[in-house]
Structure 1
Amino acid sequence: MKFTRKHANQVRAAARIEVKTNRVSVEAGTRFNINTCKNSINIAAISDDPEWNDTDLDDYRDLKDLIGTEIEEKDGKVHIDFYIYLGPDRELESNVDLIWQDGKLVAANGTTNKNILSQLEG
């Protein structure tokens, strides 16, 4: 899936809903599989575990740097964990993870708000 400005806007909107403020900085987490050592920004590409227990955080990428990037899919699925920061000190406030299937957003869940997708659509 080519990550577009539309995808980035979906991420920003989900992050704003999760932390209830408009001023957010967002980074995507790159994860690695602790058994295979394969890493990817797409959790679905490296793990079949629904809780990602076989993965760990490897690195971060700024959301704006993802625009135009081709993201490896698994059966049309892209699942990315995003980190939300607030303030000039960029304190970690929360996380949201978004799932796209064949380029369409199908799930958006925050650390505290487990039903962000319905709020994005409504």
Structure 2
Amino acid sequence: MIVSPFGILVSLYLTANFVSLVFGINDGGMLLEGRFFELPAEALVWSFLIQLLFMIFLWLLYRFFLRSPIVDLKLGSGSAWFLFITQVSFVAYNQVAGVNVAGVESHGGALGYIFFCCSLIFYFY
């Protein structure tokens, strides 16, 4: 049996959001960015249902394109290593420069744009 990474990520995402939903209903709101926001239970449930519908829509798109002969994207191991090294370098750059952290005003300069452009390559590849 082959387990789809997409399915694992969807179930992880929905599980995390369901746990947040339960905590939000029990606490009467959510702690976001260091501040507590009072939210009615109805709003939390609706937001979870909208996310669930969106994830079902993405899953249907995934299943369609998985079987579609239109999309035949095959990357070699060289592309995978390039992507892996680029992502590890991006994480290291963020740690050293202290950028791309919530609440930080610094943007990191020109080197950050290089990582941004490298990530865009894989969207259009």
TM-score, normalized by length of structure 2?
0.20
* Structure 1 or 2: more helix by fraction: 2
* Structure 1 or 2: more strand by fraction: 1
**1 or 2 for the larger relative contact order (CA 8 Å, sep ≥6)?**
1
TM-score, normalized by length of structure 1?
0.20
Structure number, greater radius of gyration? 2
